[in-house]
């Protein structure tokens, strides 16, 4: 059974930093991209960042570019998201996901595997 389990979400003050982690089990995703999405209350789930299978290529939403960094460790089957200079607008449930395609994509419908999410709350 494939599982993606996120961790690291918590309450943080604006301007602070936070690191999220996602551990995959049940199969290895070393040949697939991995990504983070987020969903704020009352809003749709949106793309945050993605990383290629090798880690050589990354993609970020404009809203987080320059503040967030995605990385992965294929030996541990994990993907991480370091978030700096957080603002209240970053408040959301953050999900890690793996697509069924081998290329980086920001389209949620291409993602077959999802974690249960971890809550990030940024106070002003």
CA distance 66 to 39: 20
Query: What is the tens place of the pLDDT at every residue in 43-69?
Result: 999 999 999 999 999 999 999 999 999
pLDDT at position 29 is: 86
- Residue 117 is classified by DSSP as -
Two tokens, residue 114: 């999802």
pLDDT at 1 over 90: no
Give residue 113's pLDDT band: very low, low, confident or very high (50, 70, 90). very high
Query: What is the tens place of the pLDDT at every residue in 7-34?
Result: 999 999 999 999 999 999 888 888 999 9
Report the Cα–Cα distance between both ends of the chain, in Å, rounded: 40
Strands 45-51 and 58-60: antiparallel
Query: What is the tens place of the pLDDT at every residue in 71-83?
Result: 999 999 999 999 9
7 φ/ψ angles, rounded to the nearest 5 degrees: -155, 165
pLDDT at 99 over 90: yes
Beta bridge partners of 71: 80
């Amino acid at each position: 059974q494939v599982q993606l389990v996120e961790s690291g979400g918590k309450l943080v003050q604006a301007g602070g930093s936070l690191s999220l982690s996602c551990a995959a089990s049940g199969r290895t995703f070393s040949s697939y991209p991995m990504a983070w999405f987020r969903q704020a209350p009352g809003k749709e789930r949106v793309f945050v960042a993605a990383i290629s299978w090798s880690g050589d290529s990354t993609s970020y939403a404009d809203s987080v570019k320059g503040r967030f960094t995605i990385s992965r460790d294929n030996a541990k089957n994990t993907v991480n998201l370091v978030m700096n200079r957080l603002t209240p607008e970053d408040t959301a449930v953050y999900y890690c996901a793996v697509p069924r395609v081998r290329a980086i994509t920001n389209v949620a419908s291409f993602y077959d595997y999802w974690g249960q999410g971890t809550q990030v709350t940024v106070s002003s």
